[in-house]
A and B are shown apart, each in its own frame.
Chain A
Amino acid sequence: MQIKKQTVPVLLFNDECGVCRSIAHWVQKSAQVKTGETRMIVRPIGEDPEELQSLHPGLDIWDAYATIHLLMPDGSMRLGGEAVAAVLRNLPSTRWFTWMFAIDVFGFRPFQAILNLAYAILAEVRPIFGCESCGTPGPWVRPIRWVVKSVASIFGESHQPVPSPHFTALPAKGRSPQTHPI
């Protein structure tokens, strides 16, 4: 398998998640520099495990959907909060404050730890915003999601009952999963 070499970092995002798509759209816009070049490639994870592995041999499509992945030009891979820090470091509008993520106090990086925690919380609450592909909501998220769905149904957003709690129903129109341009 031929590995595609990149000269800028590649951010993978979950195209089936509205929150992820919005963030990816913002990153893509922010990564543009005046010369027309981009500081980062933003691409959906997609459905082809082989194609993903052509970007990085250690890239697992299941893992890519479970947590944010950033593929660095040097061949390394950043995950979770570390990936978020690397993304911010590469964006012209945010890199000015990213020095703080490198602050090291006796082997502990407090600001990076806060970022890791913030990412973990965001990853947990994504299902609240209707992302069925972001993971099964944790016990503390389920009541909040139930409230959000109930409120949405009051305003006319219908939710089809599913035969099992372990089932992701496909949209009624066009059963195949949709892909959205960012």
Chain B
Amino acid sequence: MPGYKSNDRIQTVTASTFDRLVLKGEGPIAVEFMSYGCAHCRVIEPVLQQVAEMVESTEKIFRVNIGVERELADLYQIQGTPTLIMFLDGAEVGRDEGPSPIESNILNLVSQPYMS
């Protein structure tokens, strides 16, 4: 499904593409579990877009719409939105529920798990 805007930097993944794009994807991958009806997701969206632009050379950011992808939400035990999960080589390496919508915080969240 294409993004809601032409300049959307965050690709939406579905149950059918999750395995290929996230679990078998190369390099660091952050996935935002969100819902369009979630006010906090609305607040974080522009910040996440900015961060996606900043890290696009090193990292991918995807979104999962849990209003549609309920099985994925259950599989990853999503308790609410937005929830950010960071993956590396198919394994979850970090998670944050309700991140503060500040650019430096989001940037830190999506890059911290990969710093060693």
Residues of chain A whose beta carbon lies under 8 Å from any beta carbon of chain B:
14-16, 45-50, 53, 60-62, 65-66, 127, 132-136, 162-170, 175-177
Asked if A177 and B42 make an inter-chain contact with CB atoms under 8 angstroms apart, the answer reads no
Asked if B39 and A175 make an inter-chain contact with CB atoms under 8 angstroms apart, the answer reads no
- The majority secondary structure among interface residues of chain B is loop
Residues of chain B whose beta carbon lies under 8 Å from any beta carbon of chain A:
1-5, 35-45, 65-68, 70, 73-74, 78-82, 97-101
Asked if A61 and B40 make an inter-chain contact with CB atoms under 8 angstroms apart, the answer reads no
Smallest beta-carbon distance A93→chain B, Å = 30
Asked if A177 and B39 make an inter-chain contact with CB atoms under 8 angstroms apart, the answer reads no
- Chain A residues with Cβ below 8 Å from B79 are 169-170, 175
Smallest beta-carbon distance A169→chain B, Å = 4
Q: Which residue of A lies closest to B66 (CB)?
A: A176
Asked if A66 and B42 make an inter-chain contact with CB atoms under 8 angstroms apart, the answer reads yes
Assembled-state Cα–Cα distance A89/B8 (Å): 36
- Chain A residues with Cβ below 8 Å from B40 are 136, 166-168
Smallest beta-carbon distance B46→chain A, Å = 9
Asked if B81 and A47 make an inter-chain contact with CB atoms under 8 angstroms apart, the answer reads no
| 28 chain-A/chain-B pairs, Cβ below 8 angstroms | A46-B67, A47-B35, A47-B37, A47-B67, A47-B68, A60-B5, A65-B36, A127-B39, A133-B35, A134-B39, A135-B39, A136-B43, A166-B44, A166-B100, A166-B101, A167-B40, A167-B82, A167-B97, A167-B98, A168-B35, A170-B78, A175-B66, A175-B70, A175-B73, A175-B79, A176-B66, A176-B70, A176-B74
